[in-house]
Amino acid sequence: MTNPRLFSFIGGMRGPWQVIRQQTMKGDPLPTVSYIDVVSEASRVVAPSDGWILQGVTSNERYVTKEEKTALIPLQPSLGRPEATLAAMIPLSKSGNWWSLTQDERRDIFHRSSHNQVGMKALPAIARRLHHCRDLASMEPFDFVTWFEFAPEDEPVFDDLMAKLRASEEWQFVNRDCEIRMRRSASSPG
Q: Does 120 bind its own copies (CB under 8 A)?
A: no
C-alpha dihedral, 43 to 90 to 61 to 95, nearest 10°: 100
DSSP per-residue codes, 10-45: EEES-SSEEEEEEEEEESSPPPP-SEEEEEES-TT-
Which residue in 20, 28, 124, 134 binds its own copies (CB under 8 A)?
A: 134
Q: How far is the CB of 148 from its own copies (least distance, A)?
A: 21
Which burial class, exposed, middle or buried, applies to 31 when counting CB atoms under 10 A from its CB (0-12, 13-18, 19+)?
exposed
Q: Which residues contact 108 (CB under 8 A, 6 or more apart)?
A: none
Q: How far is the CB of 151 from its own copies (least distance, A)?
A: 29
* CA pair distance 149, 129, nearest whole angstrom: 9
**For its own copies, what does the binding mask look like between residues 59 and 78, x meaning CB under 8 A?**
xxxxxxxx-xx---------
- Interacting residues with its own copies between 81 and 100 (CB under 8 A): 99-100
Q: How far is the CB of 55 from its own copies (least distance, A)?
A: 6
Q: How many beta carbons lie within 10 A of that of residue 95, not counting itself?
A: 14
Q: How far is the CB of 137 from its own copies (least distance, A)?
A: 5
* Candidate segments 20-28, 51-59, 79-87, 180-188, binder of its own copies by CB under 8 A: 51-59
Q: Does 112 bind its own copies (CB under 8 A)?
A: no
Q: Does 3 bind its own copies (CB under 8 A)?
A: yes
The tally of CA atoms less than 13 A away on the side-chain side of residue 86 is: 17
The three-class DSSP label of residue 172 is: helix
Query: 153: closest CA among 102, 104, 56, 84?
Result: 84
Residues in contact with its own copies, total (CB under 8 A)? 35
Q: How far is the CB of 103 from its own copies (least distance, A)?
A: 6
End-to-end CA distance of the chain: give it in Å, rounded: 30
Which residue in 49, 80, 82, 139 binds its own copies (CB under 8 A)?
A: 139
Q: Does 136 bind its own copies (CB under 8 A)?
A: yes
List contacts with its own copies (CB under 8 A).
Answer: 1-6, 43, 55, 57, 59-66, 68-69, 99-105, 107, 132, 134-140
